[in-house]
């Protein structure tokens, strides 16, 4: 459904998120988060960055100037949710694409990681991975299961090296 060349099933959406962060955040690295993301996501990334000697900048969803200004050559990832949890605010994907296109000239290797849990794969005419997003993560428990009977998540990408690094981390 994601049109991914690599997909990894995980124990939960939060595990998929943590694995993506664990692989992308390098010592001294930097990440940018949208302000309205799920609180556990924010807490985990801030903990991880502090542990790795890195930093996290939080910007308001939809603030193009703040997002562009927050990205530095050390920025490894920008994380957003299609619809924020729990406030269900929508992202402006054209804004994210514009900022990321320019950011890739200043921050080589930067990745746009998108949590599509609330939207689910069926919400998009063009899948995010075909539209400027590098990594899609989601909680299948919420978006596809719907009733918390089963617990699982996934990570999808076209970046096979990143997917292999996630699989190696899972194996450890």
Token output for 124: 């998009």
Partners of 55 in the β-ladder: 30
CA 150 to CA 141: how far, in whole Å?
6
pLDDT of 143 reads: 61
The confidence score (pLDDT) of residue 148 equals: 61
Distances (CA, A) of 3 to 17, 18, 57, 127, 129: 19, 22, 30, 7, 7
Which residues, other chains included, contact 146 with Cβ-Cβ below 8 Å and sequence gap of 6+? Answer: none
Give the whole-number percent of the chain exceeding pLDDT 70: 95
Query: Does pTM top 0.85 for this prediction?
Result: yes
CA proximity to 80, closest of 65, 101, 63: 63
On whether the CB atoms of residues 132 and 157 are closer than 8 A, the answer is no
Calculate what percentage of the chain has a pLDDT beyond 90: 72
pLDDT of residue 32: 98
- Quote the pLDDT of residue 147: 61
Please name the residue ranges forming H helices in 5-151.
13-24, 39-51, 64-70, 93-106, 140
Residue 144, pLDDT score: 61
Residue 142 has pLDDT above 90, yes or no: no
The answer on pLDDT for 146 being more than 60 is no
For residue range 52-104, what is the model confidence (pLDDT) as tens digits? 999 999 999 999 999 999 999 999 999 999 987 777 888 898 999 999 999 99
pLDDT above 80 for 141:
no
């Amino acid at each position: 459904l994601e049109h991914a060349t690599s997909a990894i099933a995980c124990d939960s959406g939060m595990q998929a998120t943590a694995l993506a962060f664990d692989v992308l955040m390098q010592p001294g690295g930097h990440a940018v988060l949208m302000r309205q993301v799920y609180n556990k996501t924010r807490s985990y990334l801030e903990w991880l960055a502090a542990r790795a000697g890195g930093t996290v900048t939080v910007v308001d969803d939809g603030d193009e100037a703040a997002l562009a200004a927050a990205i530095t050559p050390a920025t490894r990832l920008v994380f957003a949710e299609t619809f924020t949890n729990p406030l269900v605010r929508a992202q402006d994907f054209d804004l994210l694409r514009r900022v990321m296109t320019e950011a890739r000239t200043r921050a080589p290797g930067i990745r746009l990681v998108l949590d599509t849990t609330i939207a689910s794969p069926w919400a998009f005419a063009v899948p995010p991975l075909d539209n400027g997003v590098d990594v899609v993560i989601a909680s299948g428990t919420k978006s596809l299961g719907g009733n918390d009977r089963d617990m699982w998540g996934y990570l999808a990408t076209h970046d096979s090296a990143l997917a292999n690094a996630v699989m190696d981390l899972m194996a450890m």
